[in-house]
Structure 1
Amino acid sequence: MSRIAVVTLVLHFYMAITVSTFANQTGRPNVLVIMVDDLGYGDLASFGAKDMRTPHIDRLMSEGMRFNEFYANCCVCSPTRAALLSGRYPEMVGIPGVVRTQPESNYGYLTPDSVMLPELFQKAGYHTTLIGKWHLGLAKPNRPNQRGFDEFLGFLGDMMDDYWTHLRLGNNYMRRNEEVIDPEGHATDLFTQWSIQSLEKREADGKPFFQYLAYNAPHFPIQPPEDWHERVKAREKNADPARVKNIAFVEHLDDGIGQVLSALDKLGLSENTIVVFTSDNGGKMKYGASNGALRSDKTHVYEGGIKVPTCVRWPGKIRAGQETSFTALTMDILPTLGDLCGVPLETEIEGRSFKPVLLEGKQAAFTEPVFHMWLQNGTKEAMREGDWKLVRDNPGDPFELYNLKNDPFEKVDLANEQPERLERMVRVLMVHMEKAQKIPWKRPEAQANVNH
């Protein structure tokens, strides 16, 4: 090799080190939060599903820290999404239930003073993008662009009645910011494409980004593309037809997530991007989902409705291949990301940062009790305090009490054996419920009708 070639090689080497060092020392990390819809705790190969092939989500689990005791704030969609973006109990920001099209079945309206995660990151100099499902408001001022997102490409509403037509009760909720759009294709594929296109723009402008990628899948209706369905039918010949469709739906979703992760790699963004993966609640078993050995499913506050597969990846900062039994909730993601990215929080929240467990592998357990509730007519409630869990899964029913350390599948109700503990925990829960009931959650026009 010539002397000039050697000098050139050395210069390139030191320039690479300098650029890398500069980026690591002064550049804030990018953030990609992937939230999927109704993914069961037992519906990933890495979480024990023998019939699933989910190599890309499994790759995320192995390349970062996997949480085995992570909980959605609620057993249904909207409240958990509100918790993610506010860092608060959803009932404290006006989303105790599901935001729906029909006024008579709507149970949520974001409070005007709610401070959203994208607003905080926007103020810190981040470009903020939502790709996919919003589900926190159908009208101004509670649409994504009024709540801190610079860019929105996705679905304003709740579930899609069809993944190909993208309609909900005859309404087209697909938007590009405020523009109504009618794109062709399966919603999962569209969200994947839009996510990658947004990443390409961010790589080009060099600005740090926060992208929230919220897939509708695998929420019912279970509609995998036909080629995916046929492939799984041929492979799982003896499986229940509903299970086969769910497998194909999840594997198609996994492929989309794999494309997004590959785009991060190709664009050179992976090393400085924190990726969070989670689900908004547990799977619905009647549609072929599995929550493993956990009790019950979506719309219930037993473990199967609220315990969700979750991981966080940040190459070089979070050691790969770790698993933790540290218990955290969806609302804890906001303060953790703020902590990791140096984004100050400007509002009081209930969420708590789990940054130490990510970067150091250990952290003292949170000691405050945590609450799960869902309002629809009456309320379903659960409270976790250490190993103990209080449950009332049907309004008006007696409370049940479980020790999750000894009984993770909630088989033995200890309410009669632990009356003093039960009574004390019910009192604590009722204080929380009283606070929640003071927060308005009806749309202004509905509230005005009530006041008159």
Structure 2
Amino acid sequence: MTRLTALFFLMMTLAHPWAHPAAMAADTPSKPNVIFILCDDLGWGDLGVLHQNKSNHDKRLHTPMIDQMAAEGIQLRQHYCPAPVCAPSRSSLLTGVHQGHAEVRDNQFDKSLADNHTLATVMKNAGYRTALIGKYGLQGNGNSAETWPAYPTKRGFDEFYGYVRHVDGHVHYPADSWPLGNSETHRQPKQVWHNDREVSTGLSKCYTTDLFTARSKHWIAEQTKSNPQEPFFLYLAYDTPHAALQTPTMAYPKGSGLNGGIQWTGEAGHMINTAEGEIDSYRHPDYVGKGWSDEEERFATMVRRIDHCVGDLLQTLRDLKIDKNTLVVISSDNGPHQESYLSNSNYDPTSFQSYGPLDGIKRDVWEGGIRVATLAWWPGNIPAGKINTEPSQFHDWMPTFADLGGIPAPARTDGVSLRPRLTGTGEAETSQIYVEYSQNGSTPKYGDFSPSHRGKKRGQMQVVHLDGFKGVRVNIKSHDDPFQIFDLKKDPKEQHDLANTNPRFKQLEKRMRDHVLQSRMPNASAKRPYDNVAIPAVEVSGATPGLQWAFYEGDFPYVPKTSGMKPQKTGTAANVNQANLPAGKGAIQWTGWIQVPETATYQMSLSTGSKAFLRIHQASVLDADFGYQAGQRRTVSIKLAKGYHPIQLTCLSDGNSVPSVDWKWGPSTNKLNAVDDKSLYRK
């Protein structure tokens, strides 16, 4: 794509951020391809560029290819996973919501991914071909592509190739037995699925890091060849260096890209060019003969293999001459693990300080458990060697990729577009950082962890960022349990609690507890000690009856997130049913406050003739968008404190008539009343 074409694309995207892909087809001859690489249990400190290269530790890992990627792109040095374990992290990534709104929480492995907007459905709406290659683990109950309710091709992916079940991703040779495994589960072969077929029979000696890389290279090349004008979105989800410390069969093949490195042959029994020799036998020469343990040699070799594969993938993009039109992001689902799945031996991330200069590992909400190694690469669009230290989180990728595709993100997303931070153009919004997770364990007693963290019971845990500070609670018993507050810029190891040091931080601590309640909705499958606490009201002065409304013109495929969009018309109305609202094709958004007369549990009920989405504070209260049929009534319970509560109700308009919105509420499901003029206020 020439510079002139790229500039034209950027101008059109900024001018029409709400346009449906069909409407933009004539204006945008090309949109950037997007590849999201997710590693499994890769620690923030495992990358050379983030920690290893400058570490004084006696053992070091090397990641030269990923380091080069960082040198040519951007380091997001304070990027967070949604929860410090894989299933909830992957769920939030794919659905664009934090853990206060996700369907999959805590340790709910193999639970169905919510039947809602996903990265894949959003990118398909933007005109992209979509694929998931690698580990999934969000399929729900079943035993086949037909019976799994949330199989990837039922959640927006045009193509899937990889592990479906969570436990299958514990080992990295799907078609071979592994006699060294510490249980029968980890000694047996596993299933690999390709769309509607199980295909592991032909995968003997295929190491999954190699296999998923080869399949990705093959898919990208085929996609580029068969339909070069169609952009693609690839989610490449490695299952390493997680779980079993298994290594490849052989050294990485010479070269890289289209004609070198890992290659897909498509021949059963020799599906990739490294499917030969003895499984689990290779050690990278940089890590042998140094007196390291077997587990350390294994882990280091696994990380180095990922490094080789990432470099190979980037060279493939160069060879196809699509590198300057492809954004590549690499990240990890949580902090480093302490497992080997080898009989009679274990592994600790202390070997390489995989948590870097931070405290905490997988399943901790200290920084080492939730701050994840994240880089982005887009030659010619992301300035080389850039470092960004602003906090961001997984749910930001949905609005980011939608932004690149020229459409708004769904209203449901909790994220913001990171495009301004990546490219250095435009005004960046502040990300919402939120974590909740429960696990009956304790932080390890590692010597380089702060004494206050060693052996600390986990239990119910929570993290929130507010006013530039991190609030963290562990072993929560009630909503009244206070947050510890840390200034991560000065104190990344979280040693100096600021919560009670002066009135400012005492007030901030209370605001953090209020902010939590205002930002999430309870989920019956993952109960919290603060679920039944009333959402605090806000102080309001100078309010007048009625609501403000804004009309956003466009052919939206779903209820849009309007942040960053400019309305074509604005005004005020007594309520959401006032008849003089615009009737064009687009979205109408009402904002203001609802005044609650008494602290109580209320029923909120919504029925519309189109689609709608309601937030109260930052909580997603009523979702009448994805899969919603006109006229359906959706109802939810919410406990609200007496006083004013900010609302944002967005509804689609088909252009033929003013959308009908029947919004009711009340303390009893049997006596719901329409939201009337007397309870609605605006500035």
The alpha-carbon deviation at position 278 of structure 1 amounts to 0.9
Post-superposition offset of 1:141: 2.3
Matched, 1:348 2:401: no
Q: What stretches of structure 1 of length at least 5 have no aligned partner?
A: 1-14, 102-107, 442-452
- Residues 295-316 of structure 1: CA deviation (Å, up to 9, x unaligned): 1111011100011111111111
Q: Please give the alpha-carbon distance, in whole angstroms, between the structure 2 residues aligned to 1:109 and 1:295.
A: 32
Report deviation, 1:215: 0.3
Q: Describe the shift of the 1:395–1:243 C-alpha distance in structure 2 as closer, same or farther (beyond 3 A).
A: farther
Write the letter of the residue equivalent to 1:135.
G
Please give the secondary structure, in 2, of the residue aligned with 1:92.
coil
TM-score, with normalisation over the residues of structure 2? 0.57
How many residues are treated as equivalent by the alignment? 417
Pairing 1:437–2:523 present: yes
5 Å matches for 1:30-179?
30-50=33-53, 51-100=60-109, 108-112=111-115, 114-138=116-140, 139=142, 140-159=148-167, 160-165=169-174, 172-179=190-197
- 1:309-335: per-residue Cα shift (whole Å, max 9, x none)? 111111111111111112211110110
Is residue 2:198 matched to residue 1:180?
yes
Instruction: Check the 8 A contact 1:117/1:334 in 2, yes or no.
Output: yes
Secondary structure of the equivalent of 1:154? Answer: strand
Does the 8 Å CA contact 1:29/1:273 hold for their aligned counterparts?
Answer: yes
SS at match of 1:93: coil
Q: Which residue of 2 aligns with 1:212?
A: 235
Tell me, yes or no, if the aligned pair for 1:369 and 1:386 is still in contact at 8 Å: no
1:208-239: CA deviations, max 9, x gaps?
1111101000102121225542524425x144
Cα pair 2:126 2:402 within 8 Å, conserved = no
Tell me how far 1:394 sits from its aligned partner.
Answer: 2.9
Q: What does residue 288 of structure 2 align with?
A: 234
Deviation sequence 1:364-387 (CA, Å, 0-9, x none): 561x75210124575321112133
In 2, the alpha carbon distance for the partners of 1:41 and 1:307 equals 7
SS of the counterpart of 1:247? helix
> Aligned to 1:274, what secondary structure does the other structure show?
strand
Displacement after TM superposition at 1:240 (Å): 4.7
Among 499, 510, 518, the alignment partner of 1:423 is 510
* 8 A contact 1:275–1:314 mirrored in 2: yes
Residues 161 and 36 of structure 1: is their aligned pair in 2 closer, same or farther, counting only changes over 3 Å?
closer
Deviates more, 1:298-307 or 1:384-393: 384-393
Structure with bigger strand share is 2
CA distance in 2, matches of 1:171, 1:302: 35
Aligned: 1:264 with 2:317: yes
- Cα pair distance change 1:297/1:197, threshold 3 Å: same
Q: In the superposition, relative to structure 1, how do residues 16 and 111 fare at CA in structure 2: closer, same or farther (>3 Å)?
A: closer
**Which residue of structure 2 aligns with residue 329 of structure 1?**
393
**Kindly tell me: are residues 361 and 65 of structure 1, through their superposed partners in 2, closer, same or farther at Cα, counting changes over 3 Å?**
farther
2:224 is aligned with 1:203 = yes
The separation in 2 between residues aligned to 1:96 and 1:16, in whole angstroms, is 45
Residues 1:200 and 1:339: Cα distance change in structure 2 (over 3 Å): same
Report what 1:412 is aligned to: 496
- The answer to whether the 8 Å contact 1:29/1:341 transfers is yes
State the AA in 2 paired with 1:158: H
Q: For 1:261-287, what per-residue CA distance to the aligned partner results, in whole angstroms no more than 9, with x for missing partners?
A: 221122222121111111111112563
The letter of the residue matching 1:131 is I
Q: 1:171 to 1:52 in 2, by over 3 A?
A: closer
Q: What letter corresponds to residue 361 of structure 2 in structure 1?
A: D
Q: Which structure 2 residue ranges, 5 or more long, are not aligned? A: 11-27, 54-59, 143-147, 178-184, 249-279, 340-346, 441-458, 528-683
Contact 1:389 1:402 in 2 (8 A): yes
Aligned residues of 1:379 and 1:394 also touching (Cα < 8 A): yes
Q: Alpha carbons of 1:427 and 1:123: their partners in 2 closer, same or farther (altered >3 Å)?
A: closer
**Amino acid of the structure 2 residue aligned with 1:437:** N
Distance in 1 (CA, whole Å) between partners of 2:358 and 2:425 is 26
Give the distance between the partners of 1:281 and 1:248, measured in 2 at CA: 20
The aligned amino acid for 1:269 is I
| TM-aligned CA distance change 1:91 to 1:174, over 3 Å | farther
Per the alignment, do residues 186 and 243 of structure 1 end up closer, same or farther by CA in structure 2, a change over 3 Å counting? Answer: same
- Does structure 1 retain, via aligned residues, the 8 Å contact 2:106–2:526? no
> Relative contact order (C-alpha < 8 Å, sep 6+): which is higher?
1
**1:447 maps to which residue?**
none
Q: Give the distance between the partners of 1:127 and 1:440, measured in 2 at CA.
A: 34
Distance 1:395 1:222, change over 3 A: farther
CA distance in 1, matches of 2:189, 2:296: 29
C-alpha distance in structure 1 between counterparts of 2:9 and 2:517, whole Å = 49
CA distance 1:298–1:110, change in 2 (3 Å): same
| Deviation, structure 1 residue 406 | 2.3
Question: 1:252: Cα distance to partner?
Answer: 1.1
Aligned counterpart, 1:371: 434
> d(CA) in 2 for partners of 1:156 and 1:246?
24
- 8 Å CA contact 1:172–1:180 kept in 2: the answer is no
Map of 1:315 onto structure 2: 379
Secondary structure of the residue that 1:192 maps to in structure 2? helix
Check conservation: 1:326, 1:365, Cα contact below 8 A.
Answer: no
Distance in 2 separating the partners of 1:176 and 1:155: 9
Match in the other structure for 1:450 = none
Q: Secondary structure at the match of 1:211?
A: strand
Secondary structure in structure 1 of the residue aligned to 2:356: coil
Query: Whose helix fraction is larger, Structure 1's or Structure 2's?
Result: 1
Is contact 2:74-2:388 (8 Å) kept? yes
Match of 2:212 in 1: 191
| Counterpart Cα distance in 2 of 1:229 and 1:91 | 42
Instruction: Report the secondary structure of 2:463's partner residue.
Output: strand
- Equivalent residue of 2:329, what SS? strand
- Name the aligned partner's letter for residue 360 of structure 1: G
- The one-letter code matched in structure 2 to 1:31 is V
Identity of aligned residues (%): 31
**Counterpart in 1 of 2:450?**
none
Structure 1 range deviating more: 291-300 or 420-429: 420-429
Whether the aligned pair in 2 keeps the contact of 1:232 and 1:247 (CA below 8 Å) is: no
CA contact (8 A) 2:76 2:387 kept: yes
Q: How many angstroms apart in 2 are the aligned matches of 1:121 and 1:365?
A: 22
Rounded to whole Å, the distance in 1 between the matches of 2:323 and 2:518 is 44
C-alpha contact (below 8 Å) 1:336/1:352 kept by paired residues: yes
Q: Which amino acid aligns with 2:436?
A: M
User: How far apart, CA to CA, are the structure 1 residues paired with 2:319 and 2:467?
Assistant: 43
Q: Deviations along 1:71-115, whole A, 9 cap, x unmatched?
A: 1111111111122211111441301123435xxxxxx43333x21
Answer yes or no: is 1:26 the counterpart of 2:29.
Answer: yes
8 Å Cα contact 2:170/2:242 also seen in 1: no
> Does structure 2 retain, via aligned residues, the 8 Å contact 1:87–1:331?
yes
* TM-score when normalising by structure 1: 0.84
Aligned to 1:6: none
Question: Separation in 2 of the partners of 1:23 and 1:352?
Answer: 21
2:329 maps to which of 271, 276, 279: 276
